[in-house]
Structure 1
Amino acid sequence: MKKNALTTAVVAGVAGVAGLANVATAVNLNPDGLGQVLIYPYYTVNEGQASLISIVNTTNQAKAVKVRFVESLNSAEVLDFNLYLSRFDVWTAALTQDTNGTPVLTTADRSCTVPDVFANQPVAFRPFEFQENNFDIVGLIDAVRVGGSGGSLVPLSPEERMSQGYLEVIEMGVLFDEGTASSSFRPATWATHGSSGVPSNCAGLVSAWDSGGVWQSIDPNNQTGPRGVNSPTGGLFGSGVIVDVDFGRALTYNATAIDGFWRNTGLAVNTATTGGEADLHFRPGSTFPSLEFARTEADDSATANIFANGSVVSLNYTAGLNAVSAVLMSEGIFNEFNIEQGFLGASEWVVTFPTKRAHTYQAAAAAGEAQRPFTDAADSEASSSLRDGLLFDTYGICETINTLFFDREERTRAPVGSDFSPPRPGQARDALCWEANVVAFNQTVTADAPTAVLGTAGKQGAQGITVGTFSAGWVRMDFNAASRNPTSGLYDSYSNFLVSNPNATTNRRTALVGLPVLGFWAADYQNTAAAAGVRANYSQLHDHRYFRNGFQLPAGTTGPAYNAPLSVVVGGARLIGADGSCPQGQTCS
């Protein structure tokens, strides 16, 4: 049988398998890098670094876009605003630190923003979301625990916490002009750059959100009244650059593009003006829209198209968040490392879970299906005074992982005991506990010591991983709390998985295994033998490679109750491993 990581059985058995013609009608990762949603997996201003951001509108339509920065520990929002892009527009900004260590955003770009506070004036990040609005730990706002539940509680200032994280960009809709008279509401014209390179009326867009303004008076639930915004159409792309001037480093990456995120299907809008399509346009200061707003069907559900092994699998989810997680789901990731000491090699991985907060920001008492594919469902603080009933503990929300190391000569080794430093007391297996994690190879990471490349301390979400005597090679990191079968090297069950709605034809649900993840490998090198006056610092960045796995449940079943494992053997068929192997005596498909 053909041995695919996402099985042929799933592809053949799921009705409505999408072709390229209708990929845009479902949530999907666009391999061309264009989309309605962009996710930048990491920003940092640690150790004097700067992060540069660009957002490009490739279409001939003016667009309303939500820009949101979130910190790395629990994805709490630290800055967001509305951006109004002209057709074919580019918006750029730089993220640095002020003299107090607070991250600040600065731009000389003239594209319209609301609030209009970006004309070369640094805008400071805000800790309100995790300090006052939505507490992580009730009664504790300035400390984290390093080393698991029994580790040390160490101070963490708001500035330190906000200094690294990731970025979401969500298209809210296409701007259009209402009416024809000069006094009419004309947001598309106002956002459009003229021959001078300056938008014609950013103040008009700002005033539309003021008290009594056209947009301020809109009910976002009913979408009534003159709006000047139609449904989003996509066509955005973006990039990030992490710059260290002292080292001479510029780590560049492309934003991950999610297309087909939202479409106006069967939504009635009461408006007497031109246009009138439903949209995602929310007021500045709102935490909406978020990644939970995915919607492709008239019943408010979302269909996800997942590309794997040359096929497209279409799965439907009642919750839009699950569709976004589905297209980001991976059983694990592959990437390289290089720590050769001959040229002072240093390697670090960024591992970001961009939908984790949306799945887990709730009380432990409410733990259930909404948390899948994440499994940590306990308020397990060692101190009774800190047990607030919320899932996020002082050491995060932890998911167990499995790692396997290979050098460049095909030799391999698995971790022995706890491979991360500092270890989690009482737990012999590795775990990633934050939203955006930095994993540093053969570095001893402490609470306050920064990592060699990205400059992230242990209390900010970094941890060390030991690869023994291997100086270069690659790593397979699996997201599954279950252990591998020591005989076959594969899994007998899965703990991290996401189950779709039943297929209308087969009445079978599909389980995707792993976690929704993004990230990259970043490395630094130095040539210590270079001639005097010759710059000899080098860096590189490579996106992770992902392997996707999934299988159908028996007809009519819903899968195990939350936090119960899912057996690999389902309906007499067992999925193959990512390496294409099939255990002796098993049926693989």
Structure 2
Amino acid sequence: MHRGLQGMLFAAGLSAAFAAPAVMLGQRDQGQALIFPYYSVNAGNTTLLTLSNNGDRGKVVQLRVAEGEIGETALVTNLYLAGRDSWSAAIARDGDRVVLLSDDASCVLPALAQAVPQQPGRRLQQLLVAGGPGAVERVAEGWVEAIEVASVVPNTSTDRALGNVVGEGSNCAVLAAAWTAPGGYWAGQPLRDLANPRGGLSGYTAVINVAAGTFFGATAVALDEFRVDPDDRPRGSIASVVRHFLPTVQQSLTLADTLSEPQGRSVSAQVFADNRRMELSYPLERAIDAVSAVLAASEVSTDFDTRGALGATTSLVQLFPTKRFYTNPALLPPGTTAPLPPFRAMYNARAPLSVIEREWVLISDREGKPLLDSGGPQFGGCEASAHHPATALAVVVPGDGAPDPLLGSRYHGNMATYCGPAPATTKDQAGLVTLKLGQPTFGNGPVALRPSREGQRLLGLPVVALRLINYVNTGAQQGVLANYSSALPLAAATQCVDGTGQPCVP
């Protein structure tokens, strides 16, 4: 082979191998950041969380519990995990408060504050947000985020304290002392023994009701390449994007802290839109747009079942984990009075449930026949909409009835199709439901994210959506009442438009 051609091919190979990273959905449910899409302690439920480090290196992971109204921090702490370590906890009611409790031996700093009498090793921490009416109800439902802060350099003092050295158990007191001034090494050198994140986190959540016999289990949504440096080769060689500190409610890592190129002050997102893979870039001050792009959906769809003969109930959990950065006045530039795209309603702390969002909805039976009373068009000619409170979390049920009694959600919404005065759906049906998240409403333009640096906009909303369905079997055997529960992600599709509103050119 000609030496010049050989050199060009080698250079092209290097370019492909070291392409600029971009935040994206994690492959096989692993990544650097996790979104546990739903927890609830309402209606007698308790929620179990499990987070796993699937790599050999130790990790520092920041865990944030977010309440469902707008995503304010109800609890935040650092987890220090050894290689192949898993950490588990539960979110539960404890009298008139909501708590996170755990008896896991992995190190937690700041530590969970309260020991549980007669239960050695178990500790708990109350979930709290700013006071006022409904503060306890706010933290009764929400979601959880976990972001990898750093990987731990092997064979260091921190690595040994994690128990990541053969023959040595974990010693959380060493890590606590490391933050204690003046002698603690992290008090003066918070990056000591640490390197950039390497990924490999996975997680699982389950909303469990022991008395009712229901179990809604779901995998956490993983974001990979969340905080990376293209000069970090191999990954975890330097500490250029590590932000290691003891978090507080006022200061913690969030989904807005994604980073792709520290030197270029930009963030890239790898998305799949219009049946093709795309890469979009955003300025660092709009880093949250990159995460929103990865989660954006123009429509989501799933099957539903509300047939009374089967004891069937269906709820659609819609989580908008980045919404607070677009609608909460406390996080917007001073003087901002309108929400930033793609959201349409500003958060109002005094009356958060009084403002209602609308989404267009398609409902068909299992053969694809529209479920409409009048036989009119399925979309466009009829008012086909889903209504839910303008909050970061919404739990929508088919029909226009009461909340699902298995969840008892405060953030309840409903869906119904109207062609004239009569509701087009009944509660005793099964089929397919599609929520159109990018459709114009009330004469407004299409719902779309802010443009990328390339001038492209994704239609729809950044959403994580689950379908929770339960069947009751009264005839399992004599004297036995059986429940069959599942929680599955909704299918999603995304569209892209350019500055003129036309489809993005391939």
Q: Same fold (TM over 0.5)?
A: yes
- Structure 2 equivalent of residue 293 of structure 1: 257
- Structure 2 equivalent of residue 109 of structure 1: 104
Q: CA RMSD in A?
A: 3.2
Partner amino acid for 2:224? D
User: How far off its partner does 1:341 sit?
Assistant: 0.8
**Equivalent of 1:204, from 174, 185, 193?**
174
User: How far off its partner does 1:432 sit?
Assistant: 4.3
Partner amino acid for 1:521? R
- Structure 2 equivalent of residue 51 of structure 1: 47
Q: Please report the TM-score for the alignment, with normalisation by the length of structure 2.
A: 0.82
- Structure 1 equivalent of residue 392 of structure 2: 435
**Equivalent of 2:188, from 217, 242, 258?**
217
**Equivalent of 1:172, from 144, 149, 154?**
149
- Structure 1 equivalent of residue 122 of structure 2: 121
- Structure 2 equivalent of residue 153 of structure 1: none
Separation of aligned partners in 2, 1:547 and 1:324: 16
**1:496-507 mapped onto 2 (5 Å cutoff):** 496-502=448-454
**Equivalent of 2:447, from 495, 500, 505?**
495
Separation of aligned partners in 2, 1:49 and 1:29: 29
User: How far off its partner does 1:115 sit?
Assistant: 2.0
Distance change (3 Å), C-alpha of 1:437 and 1:106: same
- Structure 2 equivalent of residue 489 of structure 1: none
- Structure 1 equivalent of residue 209 of structure 2: 244
Separation of aligned partners in 2, 1:313 and 1:478: 22
Q: What are the Cα deviations for residues 27-65 of structure 1, in whole angstroms up to 9, with x where unaligned?
A: 001231110000011001112211111111111110000
Q: Does 1:67 align with 2:63?
A: yes
**Equivalent of 2:315, from 325, 334, 348?**
348
Separation of aligned partners in 2, 1:104 and 1:471: 38
* Secondary structure of 2:206 counterpart: strand
* Secondary structure of 2:159 counterpart: helix
**1:229-378 mapped onto 2 (5 Å cutoff):** 229-265=194-230, 276-285=239-248, 287-297=251-261, 298-308=263-273, 311-318=276-283, 319-362=286-329, 366-367=335-336, 371-377=340-346
User: How far off its partner does 1:413 sit?
Assistant: 4.2
**1:66-105 mapped onto 2 (5 Å cutoff):** 66-100=62-96, 102-105=97-100
User: How far off its partner does 1:306 sit?
Assistant: 0.5
Q: Does 1:32 align with 2:33?
A: no
* Secondary structure of 1:354 counterpart: coil
- Structure 1 equivalent of residue 419 of structure 2: none
Say whether the 8 Å CA contact 1:361–1:392 is kept in structure 2. Answer: no
Separation of aligned partners in 2, 1:480 and 1:340: 30
* Secondary structure of 1:395 counterpart: coil
Partner amino acid for 2:497? F
* Secondary structure of 1:289 counterpart: coil
Query: In the comparison of the two structures, how many residue pairs are matched?
Result: 459
- Structure 1 equivalent of residue 162 of structure 2: 191
Distance change (3 Å), C-alpha of 1:226 and 1:322: closer
User: How far off its partner does 1:294 sit?
Assistant: 0.7
Say whether the 8 Å CA contact 2:329–2:337 is kept in structure 1. Answer: no
- Structure 1 equivalent of residue 3 of structure 2: none
Q: What are the Cα deviations for residues 63-83 of structure 1, in whole angstroms up to 9, with x where unaligned?
A: 000011111111111111100
* Secondary structure of 2:229 counterpart: coil
- Structure 2 equivalent of residue 10 of structure 1: none
* Secondary structure of 1:536 counterpart: strand
Q: Does 1:471 align with 2:434?
A: no
Separation of aligned partners in 2, 1:511 and 1:24: 21
Provide structure 2 residue ranges, at least 5 long, that are not aligned to the other structure. 1-11, 375-384, 417-423
**Equivalent of 1:462, from 412, 416, 429?**
412
* Secondary structure of 1:494 counterpart: coil
| Worse overlay, 435-444 or 46-55 | 435-444
Partner amino acid for 1:452? P
- Structure 2 equivalent of residue 558 of structure 1: none
* Secondary structure of 1:453 counterpart: coil
Separation of aligned partners in 1, 2:223 and 2:21: 12
Q: What are the Cα deviations for residues 67-108 of structure 1, in whole angstroms up to 9, with x where unaligned?
A: 1111111111111110001011111112211122x2222222
Separation of aligned partners in 2, 1:544 and 1:495: 19
User: How far off its partner does 1:293 sit?
Assistant: 0.6
Partner amino acid for 1:202? C
Say whether the 8 Å CA contact 1:216–1:283 is kept in structure 2. Answer: no
Say whether the 8 Å CA contact 2:191–2:244 is kept in structure 1. Answer: no
Separation of aligned partners in 2, 1:332 and 1:53: 28
Partner amino acid for 1:186? S
Q: What are the Cα deviations for residues 436-457 of structure 1, in whole angstroms up to 9, with x where unaligned?
A: 1111223633xxxx6322222x
Partner amino acid for 2:429? S
Distance change (3 Å), C-alpha of 1:321 and 1:226: closer
User: How far off its partner does 1:329 sit?
Assistant: 0.5
Distance change (3 Å), C-alpha of 1:249 and 1:197: farther
Q: Please report the TM-score for the alignment, with normalisation by the length of structure 1.
A: 0.71
**1:512-527 mapped onto 2 (5 Å cutoff):** 512-527=458-473
Say whether the 8 Å CA contact 1:24–1:260 is kept in structure 2. Answer: no
Which structure would you say has the larger RCO, counting Cα contacts within 8 Å and 6 or more residues apart? 1
Separation of aligned partners in 1, 2:411 and 2:211: 23
Distance change (3 Å), C-alpha of 1:24 and 1:34: farther
Separation of aligned partners in 1, 2:150 and 2:355: 34
User: How far off its partner does 1:484 sit?
Assistant: 9.6
Separation of aligned partners in 2, 1:545 and 1:517: 11
Distance change (3 Å), C-alpha of 1:186 and 1:195: closer
- Structure 1 equivalent of residue 379 of structure 2: none
